[in-house]
Structure 1
Amino acid sequence: MKKLYLFDFDGTLTYKDTLFLYLKFYNSRKFTFQFIKHIPLFVLLKMKLLEAEKVKKSFISGVLKGQSRTQIEKKSQEFFETYYPQIFRDNALDFIKNIDPEKTESYIVTASLDIWVQPFADHFKMKLLATQAEFKDHIFTGNFASKNCNGAEKLHRIKEVLAGKRYDKTIAFGDTAGDKEMMDWADESQFEFFH
């Protein structure tokens, strides 16, 4: 019996969204400045007058653009060491601890950027499907190398990576509308399972 687990990250496995947490951890001064600068955009986003992907890209770029891959990876590892395990739901950690890697393949499927989720995925021995940061000559351009990994894009990325693979059962875990397509596609879906 070969199972496939698909876990959303922010809010499903964790108590809080990691985007603001990571950017503030990376550079709190820049974060505060960019946060204030982006307030009008956040308001428009709430009113559904702007695309989430554009605001997200602009905010992340404001803090991280021009940083080297080495520096970002170093900070991401420090972020993991600082916030693991306290930002994770106890039920989620218990569940992950009991996964049999012989019989199960597990993926974290997240709209968060690969740069800061990767150390968590590595720790859990899971594969990662995330929004990808774009680097040129090892410098972060402020752009994404992939589409924002949310909603229909989550399912697109899953199908792409699983092409030709077979599982007896696929179970998806999520907590927002951004997980709907992934959860509808899975054999079984668990909404707010670890809450």
Structure 2
Amino acid sequence: MKKLYLFDFDGTLTYKDTMFLYLKFYNSTKFYVQFVKHIPLFILLKLNLADAEKVKKSFISSILKGESLAKIDKKAQSFFEKFERDIFRKNALEFIQNIDRTQTECYIVSASLDIWVKPFAEKLNIKLLATQTEFADDIFTGNFIGKNCNGPEKVKRIIEAVKGRKFDKIIAFGDTSGDREMLAWADESQFEFFH
């Protein structure tokens, strides 16, 4: 039986959101300065008066824009090594490790940026679909390639990735409204399964 497993990352496989954690780890001084500057935007976001993708891009860009791919990758690896044990849900880890991979494809489908989720995906031997960081001459431009990988975009990216391959069963795991479309698209959906 051919199966496709789709896992949201933040909150589903982890105990907490990794964006703030990684950005703070990357440069804590810059993080706090930019966090304070972005408070008005975060408030507008909570009130549904701002576009989530724009606020996210603005905040990430304020800390990482102009940084080299080598430095960002190195920090992502250090971040993974430091936080892997603390933030990853043990039961989620066990579940993934026990999946029979002979007839199965597994993906992490995350709105988080590919840069800091990649080491986790590599460790788990899972393919990654995430919000993509744009680099020009190995320097982060502050932009994303394509859309934020959230909501309907998650389904679009999955369909592109599996390119018409047939699966007997598609199982999706999520924990927020950003996973709603992916959960609805799958044959079987698990909400807060590892909580």
**TM-score of the superposition, structure 1-length normalised?**
0.99
Per-residue deviation, 1:145: 0.9
Partners of 2:181 and 2:122 in 1: CA distance: 25
Question: Given the alignment of the two structures, is residue 39 of structure 1 paired with residue 7 of structure 2, yes or no?
Answer: no
Does residue 89 (structure 1) correspond to residue 65 (structure 2)? The answer is no
SS in 2 for 1:48: coil
Quote the residue 1:56 is aligned against. 56
Matches within 5 A, 1:17-36: 17-36=17-36
Partner residue, 1:75: 75
Residue-pair matches, total? 195
User: Percent of pairs identical after alignment?
Assistant: 70
Give 1:152's aligned residue: 152
The corresponding residue for 1:173 is: 173
Q: Contact conserved, 1:133 with 1:146, CA < 8 A, in 2?
A: no
Amino acid at match of 1:179: D
TM norm structure 2: 0.99
Secondary structure of residue in 2 paired with 1:85: helix
What is aligned with 2:6? Answer: 6
Deviations 1:21-69 (A, max 9, x none): 0000000000000000000000000000000000000000000000000
Distance 1:180 1:163 in 2: 21
How far is 1:164 from its partner?
1.9
**Which amino acid is 1:43 matched to?**
I
The 2-side partners of 1:194 and 1:12 are apart by: 7
Give the deviation of 1:85 after TM superposition.
2.0
- Kindly state the Cα deviation for residue 2 of structure 1 after the two structures are TM-superposed: 1.2
In 1, distance between residues paired with 2:50 and 2:12?
25
Consecutive unaligned residues of structure 1, counting only runs of 5 or more, are none
Partner of 1:121: 121
Give 5+ residue unaligned stretches, structure 2. Answer: none
Distance in 2 between the 1:101 and 1:74 partners? 29
